[in-house]
């Protein structure tokens, strides 16, 4: 069985055209399917149109959030409700072609991949949006070493285990390949066709890059230092301490050579570095202590295979 999870926010213009293409392509896959629409608190007629689809086709399921929560939360809800062995996601604006689902499914089965992400190689978007996306993909690949051309493509296919392991919030949907990779799932990407937006307006603009950068630092902490925060805080605190001690030693030498240092701004800067260094180190120590104490509870493991008990 394959489940198609589609987050929707004010996409009433494209929904009818989407279903006309999506349903036939899912039927061609020679397996049972379900379509899960997650309405993210739309304020237009999207929910009304979706209800009509559900009446016509029993395989269409709808979950509507009371208010806009974000794409990450909508995807998490869809993953939770999906029953398929494979779960595919795509945006409702028809820029992602439903015809490409078969390519993603074939790639996943042939290579035994857990996550197959669409690569919008010839992307049909405004140049500013393309530039900001390329910059984001470059930074993400540089930070984590997972070389991908298109982290944030809406068209992705997952195994059930990979999709249900994701608990997304905020802007974490932009890092889905990384989150899956960090948990040990295999990730790849394949080129897919990308069409121009024919209906409605994009919910994201060039300013999205200013949201991506804070999310990137959050992800850097969660993936690399969530279980060992003292490694991060210790590094930062150590740099502050070394800088402060270096300045203090330099001023001490000047003092013994007869120079006045009491009114030098450098003295206050050195004191600030030393105090800040100790504060950051102590914060890291407390964070490490809290995490180690909390780990005494039963841990959850991502298990790929086990024998029957």
Last residue of a domain, one of 175, 199, 224: 224
Are residues 68 and 89 part of one domain? yes
Are residues 242 and 98 part of one domain? no
- Domain contains 16: yes
What is the distance between the alpha carbons of residues 96 and 115, in angstroms, rounded to a whole number?
A: 17
Are residues 101 and 35 part of one domain? yes
Percent of residues in the chain assigned helix, strand, coil, to nearest 5 = 50, 15, 35
Are residues 250 and 133 part of one domain? no
DSSP string, 62-106: EEE-SS---HHHHHHHHHHH---SEEEE--TTS-B-GGGHHHHHH
Cα 64 from chain centre: 22
Are residues 174 and 76 part of one domain? yes
Q: What pLDDT shows up at residue 135?
A: 82
Segment-wise mean pLDDT, segments of 10 residues, the chain, 309 residues? 93 90 90 93 91 91 91 92 94 89 93 93 78 81 82 91 88 87 91 81 59 69 75 88 93 88 88 93 84 60 57
Are residues 264 and 141 part of one domain? no
Are residues 279 and 163 part of one domain? no
- Domain contains 309: no
What is the distance between the alpha carbons of residues 208 and 232, in angstroms, rounded to a whole number?
A: 27
> pTM of this prediction?
0.75
Are residues 234 and 205 part of one domain? no
Last residue of a domain, one of 191, 209, 224: 224
Q: What pLDDT shows up at residue 251?
A: 92
In angstroms, the Cα distances linking 115 to 100, 111, 151, 172, 290 are 15, 10, 12, 16, 33
CATH of the domain at 196: 3.90.550.10
- Domain contains 300: no
Residue-number span of the structural domain to which 262 is assigned? 229-294
- Within 13 Å and on the Cβ side, how many CA atoms surround 48? 5
Are residues 162 and 249 part of one domain? no
Are residues 199 and 68 part of one domain? yes
Are residues 204 and 284 part of one domain? no
Last residue of a domain, one of 185, 203, 224: 224
Domains identified in the chain, total number: 2
């Amino acid at each position: 069985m394959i489940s198609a999870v589609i987050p929707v926010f004010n996409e009433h213009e494209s929904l009818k055209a989407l279903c006309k293409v999506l349903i036939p392509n899912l039927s061609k896959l020679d397996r049972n399917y379900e379509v899960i629409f997650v309405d993210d608190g739309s304020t237009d007629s999207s929910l009304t149109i979706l209800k009509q689809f559900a009446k016509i086709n029993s395989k269409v399921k709808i979950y509507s959030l009371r208010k806009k929560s974000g794409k990450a939360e909508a995807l998490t809800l869809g993953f939770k409700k999906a029953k398929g062995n494979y779960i595919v996601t795509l945006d409702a604006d028809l820029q992602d072609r439903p015809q490409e689902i078969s390519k993603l499914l074939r790639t996943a089965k042939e290579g035994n991949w857990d996550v197959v992400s669409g690569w919008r190689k010839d992307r049909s978007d405004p140049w500013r949006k393309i530039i900001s996306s390329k910059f984001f993909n470059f930074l993400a690949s540089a930070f984590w070493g997972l070389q991908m051309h298109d982290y944030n493509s809406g068209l992705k296919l997952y195994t059930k285990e990979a999709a249900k392991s994701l608990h997304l919030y905020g802007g974490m949907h932009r890092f889905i390949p990384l989150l899956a990779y960090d948990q040990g799932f295999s990730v790849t990407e394949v080129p897919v066709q990308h069409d121009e937006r024919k209906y409605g307006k994009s919910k994201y603009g060039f300013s999205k890059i200013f949201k991506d950068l804070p999310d990137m630092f959050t992800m850097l902490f969660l993936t690399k230092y969530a279980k060992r925060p003292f490694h991060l805080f210790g590094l930062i605190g150590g740099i502050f301490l070394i800088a402060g001690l270096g300045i203090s030693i330099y001023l001490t030498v000047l003092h013994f050579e007869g120079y006045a240092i009491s009114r030098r701004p450098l003295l206050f800067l050195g004191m600030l570095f030393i105090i800040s260094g100790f504060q950051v180190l102590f914060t890291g120590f407390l964070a490490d202590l809290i995490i180690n104490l909390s780990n005494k509870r039963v841990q959850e493991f991502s298990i790929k295979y086990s024998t029957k008990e």
